[in-house]
Chain A
Amino acid sequence: MKRRDFVGLTSLAAGALFLPSLPGFGHTAVDPARLLEPGADVIVKKRLADAALNAAKTAGASYADVRIGRYLNQYVFTREKQVQNIVSTESYGVGIRVLVNGCWGFASTSVVTEDSLAATARVAVDIAKANRLVQKEPVQLAPQSGYGEVSWKTPIQQGAFEVPVKQKVDLLLAANAAALDNGASYINSALFQVNEQKYFASTDGSYIDQDVHRLWPTFSATAVDTKSGKFRSRGSLSSPVGLGFEYLTPSAAEQIAGPQGTNTVGYKLRYDILADAALAGKQAKAKLSMKSVTPGKYDLVLDPGHLGLTIHESVGHPTELDRVLGYEANFAGTSFATLEWKAKNLPYGSKSVNIVADKLQPGSVGAVGYDDEGVKTREWDLIKEGKLVNYQKIRDQAHIVGQKESDGCCYAQSWEDVQFQRMPNVSLRPGTAKMSVDEMVSKVDKGIYIAGAGSFSIDQQRYNFQFGGQLFFAIEKGKITEPLEDVAYQSNTQEFWGACAGSCDQSDYRLYGTFFDGKGQPSQVSSVSHGSATTRFNGVNVINTARKV
């Protein structure tokens, strides 16, 4: 039996978001004050790393890297007027990866001493040697010069752990009250705070110390009409961010109004949880009596808080080179965008589709200075004027597409997991011509404006997808007319991006993000952001999702 089976069925199936209550294996529950204590000094970490690297080389490794990781998390969960749980955890240990005669080996340990690291390095070498017997394609690692001793830190203004727990609880409870006062019957809210203190060293001569911070305030407000038995929910319009607690200080300059007649608000790098919760309460209640959509073809105007998830699924995943090559065939799936497909130079989307990958964007959850195999991060084009021009790669994949360098996309969720190719931030460039969301709506004859991410599903090769949302508004003859319910759109990746009719300008640009992008077996999660401005797609098939049971 697996641990996840033991944890078993839970009462909040609909909100997997709100599940965690006990720290996982390897994570130690600690006093919140512990999260403010510094980790080991870089001098100590360098000595430990060298012990592992030397042991690996002596045992026969041609390359080795060591990740000394201290992972600090604090999660606060509330519902209505009460705190459900406050969890502070620390996980500290070391993962060692070695290359022996073209075969990878990996081992990890929570005992962080020079002897233990040397022994763990030898275990990794033994595993590599055992696997070599059945290895058919020897690993070819793109060369990487060492950076020496360098460091990087997420540019935050206020570390979330420095804020007293009471202040965080009070903020969530105030948001809950705002939702309940405005029509919600129930609300769950949560604040996720993450700090990854990662030290990377490799036989290439890099010693990289990084301090990565991420934050995610979120809620789901539900309105119930007992008489009719109907219930509807509205999720928060926040996003996971690579920012400190300053994200929760509202700023008028970081907000942008949705189209006239929608009363929606989009958030950039600052979020007003109290205003959003109050609006969510009203909107959840209003959803109980909204008009159900008439299925058919509509022009869709998609807000960045919604479109980010569609970008994630229909561009982010199909351009991961490991999926393209078949390494995820048994789990996440493969990709339609194979090397053969790319060679045909077929359109991925219309000429207005320009999609960029990066691990740098300020405020994004994917931003780091260096990836988990010691490559300095950068920005590169995936789709230019509708054509696929590149993939997402790591060091042992670059040669497959005739390239000499990694894109810096390597990541492991913890010291105890092996690093592999993970999605960087993948974003749609905003339109270059000036265009506000009201101007965009004014040109739509029959359409639907969608805000916020909802239901999502896409096939294993990333052709056919279906997306819902949080808020839907009918557009008729250039005007928002009324809110709608039961909306989902079904399309095909190339057809959908081919129907892209342009984006609003940079002033409307915002980031969507997730903490829980899953891939690999055993499965690992990673955090990724997707930026865009509000964008129009013509003639998309909309279905009505209401049923009777």
Chain B
Amino acid sequence: MAILSKDEAQNILKKVLSFSTADECEATLNGSIGGNVRSARNSISTAGAVDNVSLAVQSRFGKRSGLATCNEFDDATLRRCVQRAEEIARLAPESPEYMPLLGPQQYLDGSRSFAAATAAIDPAYRAKQIGASMALCDEKKLSSAGFLDDSVGFIAKRNSKGLEAYQQTSYVGFSVTVRTPDGSGSGYAAADYTDATKLDAARLTRVAAEKAASSVKARAIEPGKYTVILEPNALLSNVDTSLLGVLMQSLDARSADEGRSFLSKKGGGNKKGEKLFDERVTIYSDPLNPEIGDLTFANDGRPQQKTTWIEKGVVKNLYSSRFWAQKAGIPDLPPPGGWIMQGGTQSTADLIKSTAKGILVTRLWYIRPVDPQTLLYTGLTRDGTFYIENGQIKFPIKNFRFNESPVIMLNNLEAIGKPVRLNGSLVPPLKIRDFTFTSLSDAV
């Protein structure tokens, strides 16, 4: 099914609400069309297409709520879906955290969350992009494995209290791992955009290929505390847990208030308002940012506004559910989609130039929590790790395991580079002192 226009979507939702006999009813229509292609050993391994649209109806009787979904939109199906949601609601237990549905909301206008070029992607575009990547590796006698995926989508909401929302989104992403034929060198690059005209798989492949070729004959150096330059891919990932990702996911008021977060305060309460990071750390979200145009409303219909989460090292805001915001008497902020870590003007190359001794990290991998009390995580470097001396990359080094907390990391900040888009956020490369590597790995 095609991406529905605002009017088409809202007309379906209006019909859904007209069938409702519940105290409250909210309907959400969600759809996406896209495709993907995957390669390995310089050859396409799989390709697929995705085309989905789904209606979710939430019906409420008092504090009881039921959810039903369907993916056909004739009157009879819509009516049955509403009836099913109502039947489920009648059987459901009362929710002690019930909140009435939101009424009419004012959403920001002008988010660049959709680009027509991305909607125009066809199998030929995908084959051309990944084909260019594979050809480049063939030419250099390197082996590549890549993945390109794209989607355009829409989301429309409407409820019996007068809330109305609609927005379109688009996404294209490409990642590639390039390896030397003997497996002794490996490099990685990834990027994602709203607008497909910005994607250049060959350019990314060149970066990964250079890293692969220059990472052979890696030397082992002793684990310990080192100054590191973490490239954006080492800080945020869309295929793994990541250090900045987990920090942002931890800004939840409820777990902090309940005493089970690094933001919980001794004796009760949370650390909002406290300076926990270096004063150069500022992280905010802004759905209207032109590079990472985002949804202007959250899953539950709350508006997404420009919000500062960390300002000059101070925790400025925590997000929460609507229930917890009301109970705790705090600003009612939904978690953000993408976010922006404010940076400087220096490139990764500039950061290397100003480093006397240090380690350049392309990517961190298999990052898992060790201790939620301190937000301690472990993981490993991957796909290009280099020793820096006197402002120059001297030689590739073997990969390390780290045990580090993003809280400690953002206190040991030496320099912030220029942010780039990654996974729908803007992330700068960071230079960090005393980053803790605890053992060596033979993995390439």
Footprint of B on A, CB under 8 Å? 1-3, 5-14, 22-23, 25-31, 82-83, 86-87, 104-107, 110, 127, 130-131, 133-137, 165, 169, 185-186, 222, 224-233, 325-331, 333-334, 336, 338, 418, 420, 455-464, 466, 468, 486, 488, 490, 492, 521-523, 541, 543, 545-549
Contacts and interface: CB of A to CB of B under 8 A. Distances in A.
Nearest to A131: B44
Contacts of A461: 441-444
Interface string B267-295: 11000000010000000000000000011
Given A1-B294, A82-B97, A229-B264, A224 B258 contact: yes
Contact of A9 (B264, B324, B335, B376): B335
Which of the listed residues A14, A326, A457 has the most CB atoms from chain B within 10 Å of its own CB? A457
Contact of B93 (A22, A133, A169): A169
Interface of B: 30, 32, 36, 38, 40-49, 52, 54, 56, 67-71, 84, 87-88, 91-93, 95-97, 113, 123, 127, 131, 134, 143, 145-147, 149, 151, 153, 155, 169-171, 175-177, 179, 183, 186, 188, 194, 238-239, 246, 248-250, 252, 254-255, 258-260, 262, 264-268, 276, 294-295, 298-299, 319-321, 324, 334-338, 365-376, 378-380, 382, 399, 401, 403, 405, 407-408, 423-424, 438-444
A326 B143 contact: yes
A460 B385 CA distance: 14
Nearest to B87: A31
B85 to A, nearest CB: 8
Given A336-B443, A457-B380, A26 B41 contact: no
A548 B44 contact: no
B441 A459 contact: yes
A459 B259 contact: no
Contact of A336 (B95, B324, B442): B442
Contact of A230 (B47, B49, B373, B408): B373
Contact of A134 (B127, B145, B266, B335): B127
Given A6-B295, A547-B376, A466 B401 contact: yes
Nearest to A227: B267
Contacts of A26: 52, 54
A137 B41 contact: yes
Contacts of B176: 330
Summarize A's interface: helix, strand, loop or mixed: loop
B298 A330 contact: no
B374 A547 contact: yes
B299 A28 contact: no
Q: What are the 9 A-B residue pairs with the smallest beta carbon separation, nearest first?
A: A464-B441, A13-B249, A9-B335, A229-B266, A224-B259, A461-B443, A459-B443, A329-B145, A330-B145
B367 to A, nearest CB: 7
A106 B48 contact: yes
A308 B424 CA distance: 36
B146 A464 contact: no
A25 B32 contact: yes
A9 B249 contact: yes
Which of the listed residues A25, A105, A459, A488 has the most CB atoms from chain B within 10 Å of its own CB? A459
Given A2-B151, A8-B337, A29-B67, A329 B40 contact: yes
A186 B260 contact: yes
A330 B40 contact: yes
Given A130-B127, A229-B264, 4 more contacts: A5-B423, A136-B43, A229-B267, A464-B442
Contacts of B255: 11-12, 14
Nearest to B285: A9
Contacts of A137: 41, 43
A131 B254 contact: no
Contacts of B334: 8
A11 B46 CA distance: 35
A460 B48 contact: no
Contacts of A455: 368-370, 378
Contact of B258 (A107, A186, A468): A186
B145 A11 contact: no
A245 B365 CA distance: 37
A25 B52 contact: yes
Contact of B401 (A10, A135, A464): A464
A330 B36 CA distance: 14
A522 B401 CA distance: 27
Contact of B405 (A8, A334, A549): A549
B337 A457 contact: no
Which of the listed residues A9, A136, A523, A548 has the most CB atoms from chain B within 10 Å of its own CB? A9
Nearest to A455: B370
A225 B258 CA distance: 10
Contacts of B249: 9-10, 13
Contact of B438 (A27, A225, A486, A543): A543
B2 to A, nearest CB: 16
A505 to B, nearest CB: 32
Nearest to B383: A460
A106 B442 CA distance: 37
Contacts of A331: 145, 147, 239
B369 A23 contact: no
Contacts of B54: 25-26, 28
A488 B439 CA distance: 13
Contact of B321 (A2, A11, A131): A11
A326 B96 CA distance: 51
Nearest to B97: A82
Nearest to A463: B442
A487 B340 CA distance: 35
B371 A546 contact: yes
Contacts of A490: 401, 438-439
Nearest to A493: B442
A457 B155 contact: no
A10 B194 CA distance: 23
B56 A22 contact: yes
B16 to A, nearest CB: 14
B398 to A, nearest CB: 10
A457 B379 contact: yes
B93 A83 contact: yes
Nearest to B52: A25
Given A106-B48, A455-B368, A545 B93 contact: no
A348 to B, nearest CB: 15
Which of the listed residues A5, A13, A83, A418 has the most CB atoms from chain B within 10 Å of its own CB? A13
Contacts of B186: 329
Contact of B319 (A9, A86, A130, A226): A9
B69 A134 contact: no
A86 B68 CA distance: 12
A521 B36 contact: yes
B246 to A, nearest CB: 6
B439 A338 contact: no
Contacts of B43: 134-137
B336 A1 contact: no
A330 B370 contact: no
Contacts of A3: 30, 32, 153
A458 B44 contact: no
